[in-house]
Structure 1
């Protein structure tokens, strides 16, 4: 099935740090003056993700690159991709990244969280000097595609209402994943300078908050009419990092693409 490869790793962390990214306060929400426990927990999770990415890239640099550039989807038939995921899902790195205190818990890296963390680290490692300037020479990136047959009952098999609902939910998740991948590429293309500034800023820093505020007006340019996205800081920064790294590594044409050529 063309679906994100969810990871669950045993880590030493507090229950607060194990909270999933979708519990974040949404980007643009007003935070109260007093400490918001939910936002505080989400901030801790984001820092764990960044430290995890840094550790994995340090230990498995070639594998991280191969995973990001050659395996946008890892399905059951992708033996090489699954092998890479097993190596990159480094439990020791997650234990070290979640250095918050005793009490073993299972911390989940859902959907494309690991992909986002690795991309963020690699952009800062390889492309810190200056923003991309030649994106008019790069054709549109390849993104995962949806196979409707994967989300329909097998011939001759009757499913319960619950099973049909699960298929529909999984299809929706995969559609959202594809859309987010396209969204990240679009954001980088419309404003590579502000995208670069965001990725260079430390997570949860004043510089990052300023970079999010500067980039926010451009996000609407990449929302396709009729579609909706729930965005938080983890998702926006992550998909921008993934799009940025792939665009930075993509082949360049000798001259800018002709008008009308997909970009």
Structure 2
């Protein structure tokens, strides 16, 4: 029987080995669906950052879908990923105020947005026939920090989504930093624990967990939705 330790930390939303914040944008232009930085006494600094970046990702997908998809082809945390993400971080998607741009949070938001656009009404919940995804692809690119923890987290997320597709879907359909999200986290954590190797201690924030679950859920859903090609005689 597997035994594992999973520690949640309310962090800035980046994996512990991720680089420091790398870009700041100050926006004043009202573009299509710009990110509003949420206010209010009930929202923590971390949750405000998560909500703002989610809304920012929505705008980026709407404005630059092709460039966003090219960005997702880069390995998370790589220098190529930061360069591609920075090229998408324009004031056009920020209506007012100042927001620190975080590549990890941005990637998470993009996968959420893409999943909702394609699978909100009817998403697959059986991934048994979907071939294994190579989450290490591109990990040899120049990166900030050791890429292996990023690969391991995505493998754990893939395992979680395959074992608990309904709970994973419920998490990604919930609004960031909402009560529904909190309830969805509580439901999915036991499955995450079952996907962690014995003796492995995992520390990550809610935003990191949601990010890798969202990525795995989207990629597996796209894989399951691909038409089956009949083998030739």
Secondary structure of the 2:25 match is: strand
Render the CA deviation track for 1:96-119: whole Å, top value 9, x for unaligned: 3xx4x4xx5x71405x32211110
Aligned to 2:85: 85
Instruction: Report if aligned partners of 2:158, 2:217 keep a CA contact under 8 Å in 1.
Output: yes
Matched, 1:10 2:3: no
> Residues 65 and 170 of structure 1: is their aligned pair in 2 closer, same or farther, counting only changes over 3 Å?
closer
TM-score by length of 2: 0.71
Indicate how the Cα distance of structure 1 residues 11 and 82 shifts in structure 2: closer, same or farther if over 3 A, else same. Answer: closer
CA distance in 1, matches of 2:195, 2:66: 31
Higher radius of gyration, 1 or 2: 1
Shift of 1:61: 1.2
Which ranges in structure 2 are unaligned for 5 or more consecutive residues?
Answer: 1-16, 28-36
Partner residue, 2:125: 133
Structure number with the higher helix fraction is 1
Tell me, what secondary structure is at the counterpart of 1:230? strand
Q: What's 2:135 paired with?
A: 143
Alpha-carbon distance in 2 for matches of 1:215, 1:127: 20
Within a 5 Å distance, the mapping from 1:118-197 to structure 2 comes to 118-144=110-136, 170-171=145-146, 174-197=147-170
On the 8 A contact 1:67/1:85 being kept in 2, the answer is yes
The count of residues paired between Structure 1 and Structure 2 equals: 198
Paired residue for 2:44? 40
CA drift at 1:53? 0.9
Do the aligned residues in 1 keep the contact of 2:60 with 2:88 (CA within 8 Å)?
yes
Quick one: which of 59, 62, 66 aligns to 1:58?
62
Cα shift at 1:5: 8.2
RMSD (CA atoms): 3.3
Q: Displacement, 1:131?
A: 3.5
Aligned to 2:44, the other structure's residue is in SS state helix
3-state SS in 2 of match to 1:170: coil
Cα-to-partner distance string for 1:119-167 (whole Å, 9 max, x where unaligned): 01111111101332331111111112665xx89xxxxxxxxxxxxxxxx
TM-score (normalizing by structure 1): 0.64
Task: Tell me the distance in 1 between the aligned counterparts of 2:49 and 2:163.
Answer: 29
* 1:197–1:211 contact (8 Å) kept in structure 2: yes
**Separation in 1 of the partners of 2:63 and 2:163?**
33
Mapped to 2, the partners of 1:85 and 1:5 lie a distance apart of: 14
Task: Tell me the residue number matched to 1:207.
Answer: 180
Larger RCO (CA within 8 A; separation ≥ 6): 2
